[in-house]
Amino acid sequence: MNRQIRRLGAGLLVLFGALFVQLNVIQVLRADSYNDNPNNTRAIVRDFSRPRGQILAADGTVLARSVPSEGRFERQREYPEGELFAGVTGYFSFIAGADGVERTYNDVLAGRTSETAGDLGELLLGEPRTADVTLTIAPEVQRVARDSLGATRGSVVALDPRDGAVLALWNFPSYDPGLLSSVDIEAAQAARDALLADEANPLLPASYRETFFPGSTFKVVTAAAGLSSGQVTAASPRYPSSSGYVPPLTTTPINNFGGGTCGDALFAILQVSCNTAFAQMGVDLGAEVLVGQAEAFGFNDVPPLDLPRVEVSPIADVASFTQNAPVLAMTAIGQNAVRSTPLQMALVAAGVANGGQVMVPHVMADVRDQDGEVVDRFEPTVWTRGTSAAVASTLTDAMTGVVERGTATRLAVPGVPTAGKTGTAQLGNGLSHAWIIGFAPSDAPRVAVAVIVEAQPGASEQTGGRVAAPIAQAVLSAALEARP
Protein backbone atom coordinates (compact mmCIF):
# COMPACT_ATOMS: atom_id res chain seq x y z
CA MET A 1 0.00 0.00 0.00
CA ASN A 2 2.80 2.46 0.96
CA ARG A 3 4.56 1.69 -2.30
CA GLN A 4 1.37 2.50 -4.25
CA ILE A 5 0.91 5.75 -2.33
CA ARG A 6 4.52 6.68 -3.05
CA ARG A 7 4.03 5.93 -6.73
CA LEU A 8 0.83 7.95 -6.79
CA GLY A 9 2.57 10.83 -5.02
CA ALA A 10 5.51 10.69 -7.43
CA GLY A 11 3.11 10.65 -10.37
CA LEU A 12 1.22 13.64 -9.02
CA LEU A 13 4.50 15.52 -8.50
CA VAL A 14 5.47 14.83 -12.10
CA LEU A 15 2.09 16.06 -13.32
CA PHE A 16 2.24 19.18 -11.16
CA GLY A 17 5.80 19.78 -12.38
CA ALA A 18 4.67 19.47 -16.00
CA LEU A 19 1.75 21.81 -15.32
CA PHE A 20 4.09 24.31 -13.66
CA VAL A 21 6.49 24.22 -16.61
CA GLN A 22 3.66 24.62 -19.14
CA LEU A 23 2.16 27.56 -17.25
CA ASN A 24 5.54 29.29 -17.24
CA VAL A 25 5.96 28.61 -20.96
CA ILE A 26 2.56 30.19 -21.65
CA GLN A 27 2.73 33.05 -19.16
CA VAL A 28 6.42 33.96 -19.53
CA LEU A 29 8.15 32.57 -22.60
CA ARG A 30 5.19 32.89 -24.99
CA ALA A 31 3.48 35.87 -23.36
CA ASP A 32 4.72 38.44 -25.86
CA SER A 33 3.75 36.35 -28.89
CA TYR A 34 0.27 35.76 -27.49
CA ASN A 35 -0.16 39.42 -26.57
CA ASP A 36 1.05 40.54 -30.01
CA ASN A 37 -1.23 38.17 -31.90
CA PRO A 38 -3.79 40.39 -33.69
CA ASN A 39 -6.44 37.70 -33.18
CA ASN A 40 -6.12 38.04 -29.41
CA THR A 41 -8.87 40.53 -28.49
CA ARG A 42 -8.98 39.89 -24.73
CA ALA A 43 -7.25 43.20 -23.98
CA ILE A 44 -9.68 45.00 -26.28
CA VAL A 45 -12.69 43.41 -24.59
CA ARG A 46 -11.28 44.53 -21.23
CA ASP A 47 -10.47 48.06 -22.36
CA PHE A 48 -13.18 48.95 -24.87
CA SER A 49 -15.50 50.77 -22.44
CA ARG A 50 -12.76 52.20 -20.22
CA PRO A 51 -11.42 55.75 -20.48
CA ARG A 52 -8.57 56.03 -22.99
CA GLY A 53 -6.08 58.78 -23.75
CA GLN A 54 -5.65 60.64 -27.00
CA ILE A 55 -3.09 60.20 -29.76
CA LEU A 56 -1.85 63.60 -30.93
CA ALA A 57 0.25 64.80 -33.84
CA ALA A 58 3.40 66.86 -33.27
CA ASP A 59 1.38 70.10 -33.45
CA GLY A 60 -1.36 68.86 -31.08
CA THR A 61 -3.83 67.80 -33.78
CA VAL A 62 -6.04 65.04 -32.39
CA LEU A 63 -5.53 61.80 -34.31
CA ALA A 64 -7.44 59.44 -32.01
CA ARG A 65 -9.81 60.03 -29.11
CA SER A 66 -12.64 58.35 -27.23
CA VAL A 67 -16.10 59.89 -27.38
CA PRO A 68 -19.31 58.97 -25.50
CA SER A 69 -21.42 56.27 -27.09
CA GLU A 70 -24.86 54.83 -26.48
CA GLY A 71 -25.63 51.15 -26.35
CA ARG A 72 -23.41 48.21 -25.43
CA PHE A 73 -20.26 50.30 -24.94
CA GLU A 74 -19.87 53.59 -23.13
CA ARG A 75 -17.21 54.94 -25.46
CA GLN A 76 -16.19 54.76 -29.08
CA ARG A 77 -12.76 55.40 -30.58
CA GLU A 78 -12.75 58.21 -33.15
CA TYR A 79 -10.11 59.17 -35.74
CA PRO A 80 -10.71 62.74 -36.96
CA GLU A 81 -8.01 62.59 -39.69
CA GLY A 82 -9.45 59.45 -41.29
CA GLU A 83 -7.03 57.51 -43.46
CA LEU A 84 -4.18 60.05 -43.19
CA PHE A 85 -2.56 58.50 -40.11
CA ALA A 86 -4.01 54.97 -40.27
CA GLY A 87 -0.64 53.32 -40.84
CA VAL A 88 0.67 55.00 -37.68
CA THR A 89 -2.22 55.15 -35.20
CA GLY A 90 -3.63 51.83 -36.32
CA TYR A 91 -7.05 51.01 -34.87
CA PHE A 92 -8.67 49.99 -31.58
CA SER A 93 -11.35 47.52 -32.59
CA PHE A 94 -13.59 45.15 -30.69
CA ILE A 95 -13.59 42.67 -33.57
CA ALA A 96 -10.05 43.13 -34.94
CA GLY A 97 -7.98 43.92 -31.84
CA ALA A 98 -5.50 46.79 -32.07
CA ASP A 99 -2.67 47.87 -34.32
CA GLY A 100 -0.20 50.71 -34.64
CA VAL A 101 0.29 53.16 -31.77
CA GLU A 102 -2.99 51.93 -30.30
CA ARG A 103 -1.31 48.56 -29.75
CA THR A 104 2.25 49.59 -28.87
CA TYR A 105 1.12 52.16 -26.31
CA ASN A 106 -2.09 50.43 -25.19
CA ASP A 107 -1.16 50.36 -21.49
CA VAL A 108 -0.10 54.02 -21.60
CA LEU A 109 -3.35 55.14 -23.24
CA ALA A 110 -5.37 53.02 -20.78
CA GLY A 111 -3.52 54.43 -17.77
CA ARG A 112 -2.01 51.15 -16.64
CA THR A 113 1.64 52.19 -16.36
CA SER A 114 3.35 53.21 -13.15
CA GLU A 115 3.85 56.73 -14.50
CA THR A 116 0.15 57.26 -15.21
CA ALA A 117 -1.68 55.14 -12.65
CA GLY A 118 -1.89 57.79 -9.93
CA ASP A 119 -1.88 57.12 -6.17
CA LEU A 120 -3.52 54.21 -4.35
CA GLY A 121 -6.70 56.15 -3.59
CA GLU A 122 -7.24 56.89 -7.27
CA LEU A 123 -6.58 53.27 -8.15
CA LEU A 124 -9.17 52.03 -5.63
CA LEU A 125 -11.85 54.68 -5.89
CA GLY A 126 -11.48 56.60 -9.15
CA GLU A 127 -11.32 55.91 -12.85
CA PRO A 128 -7.97 55.06 -14.43
CA ARG A 129 -5.73 58.06 -15.08
CA THR A 130 -5.18 57.84 -18.80
CA ALA A 131 -2.33 59.45 -20.70
CA ASP A 132 -1.97 61.07 -24.11
CA VAL A 133 0.69 60.03 -26.61
CA THR A 134 2.15 62.79 -28.77
CA LEU A 135 3.77 61.71 -32.02
CA THR A 136 6.74 63.12 -33.93
CA ILE A 137 4.78 63.38 -37.18
CA ALA A 138 3.57 66.79 -38.34
CA PRO A 139 0.21 66.72 -40.19
CA GLU A 140 1.44 69.15 -42.87
CA VAL A 141 4.32 66.84 -43.79
CA GLN A 142 2.07 63.78 -43.77
CA ARG A 143 -0.43 65.57 -46.03
CA VAL A 144 2.29 66.52 -48.50
CA ALA A 145 3.41 62.87 -48.58
CA ARG A 146 -0.16 61.73 -49.24
CA ASP A 147 -0.97 64.39 -51.82
CA SER A 148 2.33 64.03 -53.68
CA LEU A 149 2.02 60.25 -53.98
CA GLY A 150 -1.65 60.60 -54.94
CA ALA A 151 -3.64 57.55 -56.01
CA THR A 152 -0.50 55.61 -56.92
CA ARG A 153 0.51 52.59 -54.91
CA GLY A 154 3.65 53.35 -52.92
CA SER A 155 5.18 54.52 -49.65
CA VAL A 156 6.91 57.58 -48.21
CA VAL A 157 9.13 57.64 -45.12
CA ALA A 158 10.80 60.77 -43.74
CA LEU A 159 13.07 60.86 -40.68
CA ASP A 160 15.14 63.32 -38.75
CA PRO A 161 18.56 61.62 -39.02
CA ARG A 162 19.80 63.36 -35.88
CA ASP A 163 17.40 61.65 -33.45
CA GLY A 164 15.40 59.09 -35.46
CA ALA A 165 12.09 60.98 -35.20
CA VAL A 166 9.63 59.89 -37.90
CA LEU A 167 8.36 62.97 -39.73
CA ALA A 168 6.15 61.21 -42.28
CA LEU A 169 5.02 57.60 -42.66
CA TRP A 170 2.54 57.16 -45.47
CA ASN A 171 1.50 54.43 -47.86
CA PHE A 172 -1.24 54.19 -50.44
CA PRO A 173 -3.72 52.58 -50.33
CA SER A 174 -4.82 53.33 -46.79
CA TYR A 175 -8.07 52.99 -44.84
CA ASP A 176 -10.27 54.74 -42.29
CA PRO A 177 -9.57 53.20 -38.84
CA GLY A 178 -12.85 54.61 -37.55
CA LEU A 179 -14.77 52.01 -39.57
CA LEU A 180 -13.00 49.15 -37.81
CA SER A 181 -13.39 50.80 -34.40
CA SER A 182 -17.14 51.33 -34.62
CA VAL A 183 -19.26 50.15 -31.68
CA ASP A 184 -21.70 48.86 -34.29
CA ILE A 185 -20.14 45.40 -34.31
CA GLU A 186 -21.87 44.27 -37.50
CA ALA A 187 -20.74 47.39 -39.34
CA ALA A 188 -17.19 47.00 -38.04
CA GLN A 189 -17.12 43.36 -39.12
CA ALA A 190 -18.41 44.25 -42.57
CA ALA A 191 -15.75 46.95 -42.92
CA ARG A 192 -13.00 44.53 -41.87
CA ASP A 193 -14.24 41.84 -44.26
CA ALA A 194 -14.22 44.35 -47.12
CA LEU A 195 -10.70 45.52 -46.30
CA LEU A 196 -9.40 41.96 -46.04
CA ALA A 197 -11.03 41.08 -49.38
CA ASP A 198 -9.45 44.08 -51.12
CA GLU A 199 -6.60 42.81 -53.34
CA ALA A 200 -4.76 46.10 -52.78
CA ASN A 201 -4.44 45.15 -49.08
CA PRO A 202 -5.04 48.61 -47.59
CA LEU A 203 -4.62 47.25 -44.04
CA LEU A 204 -0.93 46.57 -44.73
CA PRO A 205 1.33 49.53 -43.81
CA ALA A 206 3.82 48.69 -46.55
CA SER A 207 6.20 51.45 -45.48
CA TYR A 208 7.50 49.22 -42.68
CA ARG A 209 5.87 45.81 -43.21
CA GLU A 210 6.56 44.98 -46.86
CA THR A 211 9.87 44.42 -48.62
CA PHE A 212 10.83 45.17 -52.22
CA PHE A 213 13.93 44.94 -54.38
CA PRO A 214 15.66 48.25 -53.57
CA GLY A 215 17.20 48.59 -57.02
CA SER A 216 19.96 51.12 -57.45
CA THR A 217 19.34 52.84 -54.12
CA PHE A 218 21.24 49.84 -52.72
CA LYS A 219 24.34 51.04 -54.58
CA VAL A 220 24.81 53.43 -51.65
CA VAL A 221 25.33 50.34 -49.47
CA THR A 222 27.66 48.78 -52.05
CA ALA A 223 29.65 52.02 -52.25
CA ALA A 224 29.82 52.12 -48.44
CA ALA A 225 31.16 48.55 -48.45
CA GLY A 226 33.89 49.50 -50.89
CA LEU A 227 34.89 52.62 -48.99
CA SER A 228 34.76 50.94 -45.56
CA SER A 229 36.91 48.04 -46.76
CA GLY A 230 39.54 50.37 -48.21
CA GLN A 231 39.25 48.70 -51.62
CA VAL A 232 37.45 51.72 -53.08
CA THR A 233 38.25 55.42 -52.77
CA ALA A 234 36.83 58.51 -54.42
CA ALA A 235 39.58 58.27 -57.06
CA SER A 236 40.11 54.54 -57.56
CA PRO A 237 39.58 52.07 -58.98
CA ARG A 238 38.45 53.49 -62.30
CA TYR A 239 36.05 50.88 -63.58
CA PRO A 240 36.28 50.17 -67.32
CA SER A 241 33.78 51.79 -69.64
CA SER A 242 31.42 48.99 -70.56
CA SER A 243 27.88 48.25 -71.74
CA GLY A 244 27.84 44.78 -70.15
CA TYR A 245 29.66 43.10 -67.28
CA VAL A 246 29.92 39.32 -67.33
CA PRO A 247 30.41 37.94 -63.79
CA PRO A 248 32.44 34.79 -63.21
CA LEU A 249 30.65 31.45 -63.65
CA THR A 250 28.23 32.74 -66.29
CA THR A 251 28.14 33.96 -69.87
CA THR A 252 25.13 36.22 -69.27
CA PRO A 253 26.07 39.91 -69.01
CA ILE A 254 24.64 42.48 -66.62
CA ASN A 255 23.77 45.46 -68.77
CA ASN A 256 23.21 49.13 -68.16
CA PHE A 257 19.72 50.50 -68.75
CA GLY A 258 19.13 51.22 -72.42
CA GLY A 259 22.34 49.44 -73.40
CA GLY A 260 24.39 52.47 -72.40
CA THR A 261 28.11 52.49 -71.77
CA CYS A 262 29.62 53.78 -68.52
CA GLY A 263 32.56 53.41 -66.17
CA ASP A 264 35.08 55.51 -64.18
CA ALA A 265 35.65 56.19 -60.46
CA LEU A 266 33.06 56.17 -57.66
CA PHE A 267 31.50 59.63 -57.98
CA ALA A 268 30.99 59.30 -61.74
CA ILE A 269 29.48 55.81 -61.64
CA LEU A 270 27.11 56.79 -58.81
CA GLN A 271 25.93 59.87 -60.73
CA VAL A 272 24.81 57.77 -63.70
CA SER A 273 24.01 54.67 -61.61
CA CYS A 274 26.33 52.44 -63.64
CA ASN A 275 25.18 48.82 -63.30
CA THR A 276 28.29 47.31 -64.86
CA ALA A 277 30.67 49.09 -62.49
CA PHE A 278 28.70 48.37 -59.31
CA ALA A 279 28.15 44.73 -60.29
CA GLN A 280 31.91 44.36 -60.72
CA MET A 281 32.48 46.22 -57.44
CA GLY A 282 30.27 43.75 -55.59
CA VAL A 283 32.10 40.74 -57.03
CA ASP A 284 35.52 42.28 -56.33
CA LEU A 285 34.57 43.08 -52.73
CA GLY A 286 33.16 39.63 -52.06
CA ALA A 287 30.07 38.47 -50.20
CA GLU A 288 31.50 38.83 -46.71
CA VAL A 289 32.24 42.53 -47.19
CA LEU A 290 28.93 43.33 -48.95
CA VAL A 291 26.70 41.39 -46.55
CA GLY A 292 28.58 42.75 -43.55
CA GLN A 293 28.05 46.31 -44.73
CA ALA A 294 24.34 45.76 -45.34
CA GLU A 295 23.99 44.28 -41.86
CA ALA A 296 25.87 47.26 -40.40
CA PHE A 297 23.05 49.45 -41.77
CA GLY A 298 20.41 47.16 -40.23
CA PHE A 299 19.61 44.55 -42.88
CA ASN A 300 18.76 41.10 -41.45
CA ASP A 301 17.64 42.77 -38.23
CA VAL A 302 14.29 44.19 -37.10
CA PRO A 303 14.40 48.01 -37.00
CA PRO A 304 13.35 49.02 -33.46
CA LEU A 305 10.52 51.28 -34.63
CA ASP A 306 7.88 51.58 -31.90
CA LEU A 307 5.10 50.09 -34.02
CA PRO A 308 3.99 46.43 -34.13
CA ARG A 309 5.36 43.76 -36.47
CA VAL A 310 8.07 45.75 -38.26
CA GLU A 311 9.46 43.67 -41.12
CA VAL A 312 13.09 42.60 -41.50
CA SER A 313 14.89 43.67 -44.69
CA PRO A 314 16.74 40.51 -45.75
CA ILE A 315 20.00 39.98 -47.59
CA ALA A 316 21.21 36.43 -48.21
CA ASP A 317 23.91 35.05 -45.92
CA VAL A 318 27.54 34.88 -47.01
CA ALA A 319 27.49 31.12 -47.57
CA SER A 320 24.69 31.39 -50.14
CA PHE A 321 26.99 33.37 -52.44
CA THR A 322 29.69 30.68 -52.52
CA GLN A 323 30.37 29.80 -56.15
CA ASN A 324 27.52 32.15 -57.04
CA ALA A 325 29.17 35.30 -58.36
CA PRO A 326 26.29 36.16 -60.74
CA VAL A 327 23.86 36.46 -57.82
CA LEU A 328 26.41 38.50 -55.84
CA ALA A 329 26.76 40.88 -58.80
CA MET A 330 22.99 41.31 -59.06
CA THR A 331 22.69 41.82 -55.31
CA ALA A 332 25.29 44.61 -55.47
CA ILE A 333 22.92 46.57 -57.74
CA GLY A 334 19.87 45.93 -55.51
CA GLN A 335 18.29 42.93 -57.21
CA ASN A 336 17.97 39.17 -56.61
CA ALA A 337 19.15 38.33 -53.06
CA VAL A 338 18.29 41.56 -51.23
CA ARG A 339 14.97 43.16 -50.32
CA SER A 340 14.13 46.21 -48.24
CA THR A 341 11.27 48.03 -46.64
CA PRO A 342 11.01 51.75 -47.42
CA LEU A 343 11.77 52.32 -43.73
CA GLN A 344 15.10 50.47 -44.00
CA MET A 345 16.21 52.46 -47.05
CA ALA A 346 15.25 55.68 -45.23
CA LEU A 347 17.48 54.48 -42.37
CA VAL A 348 20.35 53.96 -44.82
CA ALA A 349 19.98 57.56 -46.02
CA ALA A 350 19.64 58.78 -42.44
CA GLY A 351 22.76 56.88 -41.39
CA VAL A 352 24.84 58.49 -44.12
CA ALA A 353 23.37 61.87 -43.22
CA ASN A 354 24.19 61.39 -39.52
CA GLY A 355 27.88 60.72 -39.91
CA GLY A 356 27.42 56.96 -40.14
CA GLN A 357 25.25 56.48 -37.04
CA VAL A 358 21.75 55.09 -37.55
CA MET A 359 19.46 56.29 -34.77
CA VAL A 360 16.56 54.29 -33.35
CA PRO A 361 13.48 55.31 -35.38
CA HIS A 362 10.44 56.33 -33.34
CA VAL A 363 6.97 57.84 -33.68
CA MET A 364 6.45 58.66 -29.98
CA ALA A 365 7.69 62.10 -28.92
CA ASP A 366 6.33 62.15 -25.37
CA VAL A 367 3.60 60.91 -23.03
CA ARG A 368 1.58 63.35 -20.90
CA ASP A 369 -0.71 62.54 -18.01
CA GLN A 370 -4.19 63.97 -17.47
CA ASP A 371 -2.67 67.10 -15.96
CA GLY A 372 -0.57 67.72 -19.05
CA GLU A 373 2.67 66.81 -17.32
CA VAL A 374 5.31 64.95 -19.32
CA VAL A 375 5.75 61.50 -17.74
CA ASP A 376 7.82 59.92 -20.52
CA ARG A 377 9.86 61.26 -23.41
CA PHE A 378 11.72 59.40 -26.13
CA GLU A 379 15.46 59.66 -25.64
CA PRO A 380 17.48 59.49 -28.88
CA THR A 381 19.57 56.32 -29.03
CA VAL A 382 22.02 54.92 -31.58
CA TRP A 383 20.71 51.71 -33.14
CA THR A 384 23.73 50.75 -35.24
CA ARG A 385 26.81 52.28 -36.82
CA GLY A 386 26.51 51.95 -40.57
CA THR A 387 29.85 53.50 -41.47
CA SER A 388 32.64 55.63 -40.11
CA ALA A 389 32.21 59.40 -40.20
CA ALA A 390 34.84 59.63 -42.94
CA VAL A 391 33.01 57.14 -45.18
CA ALA A 392 29.71 58.91 -44.54
CA SER A 393 31.31 62.21 -45.57
CA THR A 394 32.56 60.74 -48.86
CA LEU A 395 29.15 59.18 -49.56
CA THR A 396 27.47 62.53 -48.83
CA ASP A 397 29.69 64.25 -51.38
CA ALA A 398 28.99 61.50 -53.92
CA MET A 399 25.22 61.62 -53.33
CA THR A 400 25.23 65.42 -53.57
CA GLY A 401 26.82 65.01 -57.00
CA VAL A 402 23.98 62.65 -58.00
CA VAL A 403 21.50 65.48 -57.31
CA GLU A 404 23.59 68.22 -58.87
CA ARG A 405 24.77 66.40 -62.01
CA GLY A 406 23.24 62.93 -62.09
CA THR A 407 19.97 61.00 -62.12
CA ALA A 408 18.38 62.77 -59.11
CA THR A 409 18.26 66.39 -60.24
CA ARG A 410 14.51 66.56 -59.53
CA LEU A 411 15.20 65.88 -55.85
CA ALA A 412 16.98 69.22 -55.38
CA VAL A 413 15.30 71.52 -52.85
CA PRO A 414 15.65 75.10 -54.17
CA GLY A 415 18.40 76.93 -52.34
CA VAL A 416 19.27 73.89 -50.19
CA PRO A 417 22.17 71.48 -50.90
CA THR A 418 20.57 68.07 -51.35
CA ALA A 419 21.96 64.53 -51.55
CA GLY A 420 20.24 61.52 -53.07
CA LYS A 421 20.26 58.31 -55.06
CA THR A 422 17.66 57.03 -57.50
CA GLY A 423 16.70 53.44 -58.08
CA THR A 424 14.71 51.34 -60.51
CA ALA A 425 13.97 47.77 -59.47
CA GLN A 426 12.93 45.62 -62.40
CA LEU A 427 10.16 43.10 -61.78
CA GLY A 428 10.63 41.08 -64.97
CA ASN A 429 7.12 41.73 -66.31
CA GLY A 430 7.62 45.08 -68.01
CA LEU A 431 7.07 46.88 -64.70
CA SER A 432 9.53 48.33 -62.22
CA HIS A 433 9.51 49.99 -58.82
CA ALA A 434 10.69 53.60 -58.85
CA TRP A 435 12.82 54.48 -55.81
CA ILE A 436 14.69 57.41 -54.39
CA ILE A 437 16.48 58.06 -51.11
CA GLY A 438 18.08 61.31 -50.00
CA PHE A 439 18.57 63.96 -47.36
CA ALA A 440 18.87 67.72 -46.92
CA PRO A 441 20.61 70.00 -46.30
CA SER A 442 23.51 67.78 -47.31
CA ASP A 443 25.96 69.99 -45.39
CA ALA A 444 23.90 69.88 -42.14
CA PRO A 445 21.18 67.21 -42.59
CA ARG A 446 17.85 67.57 -40.82
CA VAL A 447 15.61 65.35 -42.95
CA ALA A 448 16.16 62.00 -44.68
CA VAL A 449 13.61 60.45 -47.00
CA ALA A 450 12.80 57.28 -48.93
CA VAL A 451 10.08 56.98 -51.56
CA ILE A 452 8.95 53.98 -53.57
CA VAL A 453 6.33 54.17 -56.31
CA GLU A 454 5.34 50.63 -57.14
CA ALA A 455 4.92 48.83 -60.46
CA GLN A 456 5.62 51.59 -62.95
CA PRO A 457 5.50 50.70 -66.68
CA GLY A 458 8.84 50.46 -68.43
CA ALA A 459 12.29 50.26 -66.93
CA SER A 460 14.88 53.00 -67.09
CA GLU A 461 17.51 54.25 -64.70
CA GLN A 462 15.72 57.57 -65.00
CA THR A 463 12.44 56.13 -63.63
CA GLY A 464 13.29 56.84 -59.99
CA GLY A 465 14.42 60.36 -60.82
CA ARG A 466 11.38 61.06 -62.97
CA VAL A 467 8.64 59.46 -60.84
CA ALA A 468 9.83 59.24 -57.22
CA ALA A 469 12.13 62.27 -56.97
CA PRO A 470 9.44 64.99 -57.23
CA ILE A 471 7.50 63.30 -54.40
CA ALA A 472 10.59 63.15 -52.20
CA GLN A 473 11.47 66.75 -53.02
CA ALA A 474 8.05 67.97 -51.91
CA VAL A 475 8.32 65.98 -48.65
CA LEU A 476 11.86 67.23 -47.97
CA SER A 477 10.72 70.82 -48.48
CA ALA A 478 7.72 70.44 -46.18
CA ALA A 479 9.73 68.64 -43.50
CA LEU A 480 12.50 71.24 -43.53
CA GLU A 481 9.90 73.91 -42.86
CA ALA A 482 8.30 71.88 -40.07
CA ARG A 483 11.53 70.71 -38.44
CA PRO A 484 13.78 73.52 -37.17
Angle (CA) 99-102-107 rounded to 5° is 125
Neighbour tally for 11: CB within 10 Å: 10
CA distance 142 to 172: 12
> Which residue type sits at 274?
C
Is 477 among the residues known to form the active site?
Answer: no
Burial of 180 (0-12, 13-18, 19+ CB in 10 A): buried
Helix H or strand E encompassing 136: none
Inter-axis angle of helices 219-229 and 275-285, nearest 10: 40
User: Which of 138, 193, 147 is CA-nearest to residue 172?
Assistant: 147
Please pick, among 155, 181, 182, 216, the residue that the annotation labels catalytic: 216
Instruction: Give the three-state DSSP class for 430.
Output: coil
CA distance 439 to 451: 12
Angle (CA) 149-152-155 rounded to 5° is 55
CA distance 131 to 120: 17
Instruction: Give the three-state DSSP class for 254.
Output: strand
* N-term to C-term CA, the chain: 84
Stated length of the chain: 484
**Residues designated as active site:** 216
